[in-house]
Amino acid sequence: MKKLTLLRHAKSSWDDTVTRDFDRPLNEKGKRAAAVMGTFVKRGGITFDLVLASPAQRVIETLEHFVAASGLSIEPQWDRKIYLASSATLMDVLRGADPQAEHILMVGHNPGLEDLVFDLVPHDSSSEPRSAVEVKYPTASLAELTLNIDQWADIKDDCATFDRFTRPRDLDHELGPDYI
């Protein structure tokens, strides 16, 4: 069994004058949400063996605030393939992950992360977390999955159970419901 936690980057600023989407920074609410999620991970004693992340500016900043609040020592493996990736590409990235890693944190973007959840967790699953993701996978939300595989190379559709879905607004009501 392997564990996979998916973190969508926190809310970014559309008001910034950057010329490329890749360079968009977080807004203030996004910084706060990333820190709230880091504190949640710290309180839960959650740790990761490997962090795979998009190198987009909003992911970098999400991890900065997340790590500061979590107290974890994280050295992300930045992978450009994760930036705006499809579920199929994200699965390919995971197949190439260090086989010794038992728990991976992947930090990226929608719709890829959401689609990855739908591909990994069987459609006929009546899990409450999957239903929540079907409604919306808000920024800075964590999806925690257990995969019925021994090696990352074996990842495939319908191999996961959905353990928990945590949104920033679940932890701090000021971060919702208008939080996207």
E strand or H helix that includes residue 5? strand 2-8
Q: Residue range 31-58: average pLDDT?
A: 97
- Is the confidence at residue 137, as pLDDT, over 50? yes
The residue type at 178? D
Mapping DSSP to helix (H, G, I), strand (E, B) and coil, where does residue 3 land? strand
pLDDT higher at 134 or 89:
89
Backbone Cα Rg of the chain: 15
pLDDT in tens, 62-82: 999 999 999 999 999 999 999
- Is the confidence at residue 125, as pLDDT, over 60? no
State the pLDDT confidence band at 126, using cuts at 50, 70 and 90.
low
Mapping DSSP to helix (H, G, I), strand (E, B) and coil, where does residue 12 land? strand
Mapping DSSP to helix (H, G, I), strand (E, B) and coil, where does residue 90 land? helix
The residue type at 147? L
Asked if 143 contacts 117 with a C-beta cutoff of 8 angstroms, the reply is yes
- Is the confidence at residue 180, as pLDDT, over 60? no
- Is the confidence at residue 179, as pLDDT, over 60? no
CA distance 163 to 128: 9
pTM to 2 decimal places: 0.94
Cis status of the peptide bond prior to 177, with omega within 30 of 0: yes
pLDDT higher at 64 or 20:
64
Residue 131 has a pLDDT of 82
For the ranges 10-14, 68-72, 83-87, 150-154, the lowest mean pLDDT is seen at: 10-14
Average pLDDT taken over every residue of the chain: 93
Asked if 77 contacts 98 with a C-beta cutoff of 8 angstroms, the reply is no
Q: What is the chain's percent helix, strand, coil content, to nearest 5?
A: 40, 20, 40
